[in-house]
Amino acid sequence: MPYEPVLLANINKKDSHTLAVYEAGGGYRTLKSALKDKSPGDILEVVKSSNLRGRGGAGFPTGLKWSFLPEKHPGPVYFCVNADESEPGTIVNRVQMEADPHQILEGIMLSCYATRAATAYIYLRYEYPLCLKRMQAAIDEAYAAGYLGKNILKSAFSLDLFIHRGAAAYVCGEETGLIESLEGKRAWPRIKPPFPAVEGLFRKPTVVNNIETVACVKHIVERGAAWFRSIGTPADPKDPRDPGSYGPKLYGLSGHVNRPGCYEAPLGITVRELIEEHGRGVWKGRKAKAVVPGGLSTGVMTAAELDTKLDFSGPLKVGCLGLGTACAIVLDETYSMVDFLHNSCRFFAHESCGQCTPCREGTSWSLMMLERIKAGRGRLKDLELLLEIGDTIGIIPGTTICGLADGAAWPIKNAIRKFRGEFEEYIKRTNPEGYMETEPVEAMATVPK
């Protein structure tokens, strides 16, 4: 049975970003009904029952996150929407914000109603000027129509919504780094606990959800938890840690494909299906050599792993960090994995905030080793040193505050372990006399260019 888009249902309509078009398609009916007939607790329960998991990368259950807010806290409670879409290869939030901003706003309103938040912030990536224009125009229309402000639609619910434009830092995608930036400080992620639900923005209870997550909330409240759970991949009865991967999902596709773009499908389609059916295959008649499944930080799959499901557990089964943003980058058979890893290390070394020594030093030294390998001075021993760095930095081995280091580590671990032969051949070919060297070698700064 063909899948009918939900999250992208409006994007091909003329002037889809305007309030008039959104209301003509039934927009804000769900908000009106919820404020009239449902309590905040009712919204919370339907989101918990749906098993919605965060679409920003971590996949944490959204309703459970909301339930961590203290029940009797005098307030205020803040709601932060993460629109800092800085993960390489990821463009799905941009599509939503540019083409259907009111869907996002309605999801934010329902989420704030459920969490009793009276103030919300959209933390927007600096490089998205059209998103800023469209989102701000939609907010202005919503205020004028009575969907934002005091006593919305003559109810007891009030909400003020502001856009905060970030300063182009990848680490602001981490929720506490985002909060620090919102407060006007350097975006250094915070040590947890306390978690944001207890002590977040301005040291008050705070929820942080991403754009696609709040858009899903709108449809869950409108259509029900059972509808949402009817889409996607059920929980694995053999794995008590797998709560399932339910609902529609926006998939990004870029790299060496014939039709890159943003596509909507049920959670759990395979990488091969995404490439062949949505991307129309690998470009120039070539074959896929590797695929980054969900943004650069998730690592890399081989061509033999293309039948892996793109749900929250699928990429884990082939040694990747996770589903991430579900935005795949396809590399064809001609592309060098040495170049891939060099570009990856260069990105993460630049984006590390420098707060944690393992991340600051590990990402920098990884880049320096890759630069030396690219310059024809690589050693086989460098591969072991790179793997040692990859295995020892990040939250998962317990050495850093946030997960940026894990994101830096997974491409290193996957690329070298899955394509080791290619790395060894490159090092032997470009440094035939020194590839077996084990003694310390000169740093790149002293190597003649």
Tell which phi-psi region holds residue 51, choosing left (phi > 0), alpha (psi between -120 and 50) or beta: left
pLDDT surpasses 90 at 294: yes
Q: Which residues contact 247 (CB under 8 A, 6 or more apart)?
A: 50, 52, 216, 220, 228, 229, 231, 232, 266, 267
Question: The dihedral of CA 50, 56, 57, 62: what is its sign?
Answer: negative
pLDDT of residue 280: 98
pLDDT tens figures, 53-80: 999 888 999 999 999 999 889 989 999 9
- The answer to whether 377 touches 350, Cβ cutoff 8 Å, is no
pLDDT of residue 439: 85
pLDDT surpasses 60 at 352: yes
Considering only residues 441 and 224, tell me which one the structure prediction assigns the higher pLDDT: 224
pLDDT surpasses 80 at 222: yes
- The answer to whether 331 touches 340, Cβ cutoff 8 Å, is yes
- Average the pLDDT over 341-359 and give the result: 97
- Average the pLDDT over 347-366 and give the result: 97
DSSP alpha helix (H) spans, 51-158: 62-67, 92-99, 101-115, 129-145
Comparing C-alpha atoms, which of 200, 205, 210, 204 is closest to residue 177?
A: 200
pLDDT tens figures, 377-430: 999 999 999 999 999 999 999 999 999 999 999 999 999 999 999 999 999 999
pLDDT of residue 353: 96
Band of pLDDT at residue 448, cut at 50, 70 and 90? very low
Q: Please give the mean pLDDT across all residues of the chain.
A: 95
- The answer to whether 181 touches 80, Cβ cutoff 8 Å, is no
Report the amino acid identity of residue 42.
Answer: D
Q: How many residues does the chain have?
A: 449
pLDDT of residue 242: 87
pLDDT tens figures, 77-109: 999 999 999 999 999 999 999 999 999 999 999
Q: Which residues contact 357 (CB under 8 A, 6 or more apart)?
A: none
- Average the pLDDT over 248-266 and give the result: 97
- Average the pLDDT over 253-281 and give the result: 97
Q: Label residue 448 exposed, middle or buried (CB < 10 Å: 0-12, 13-18, 19+).
A: exposed
Domains of the chain (ranges; CATH) run 19-230 (3.40.50.11540), 247-332 (3.10.20.600), 337-446 (1.20.1440.230)
DSSP summary character for residue 11 = T
Rounded CA-CA distance 449/447 in Å is: 6
Rounded CA-CA distance 205/119 in Å is: 12
pLDDT surpasses 80 at 445: no
pLDDT of residue 441: 76
- The answer to whether 89 touches 254, Cβ cutoff 8 Å, is yes
- Average the pLDDT over 281-303 and give the result: 97
pLDDT surpasses 50 at 363: yes
C-beta atoms surrounding 449 within 10 Å? 4
3-state helix, strand, coil in the chain (%, to 5): 45, 15, 40
Considering only residues 447 and 200, tell me which one the structure prediction assigns the higher pLDDT: 200
- Average the pLDDT over 154-159 and give the result: 97
pLDDT surpasses 70 at 229: yes
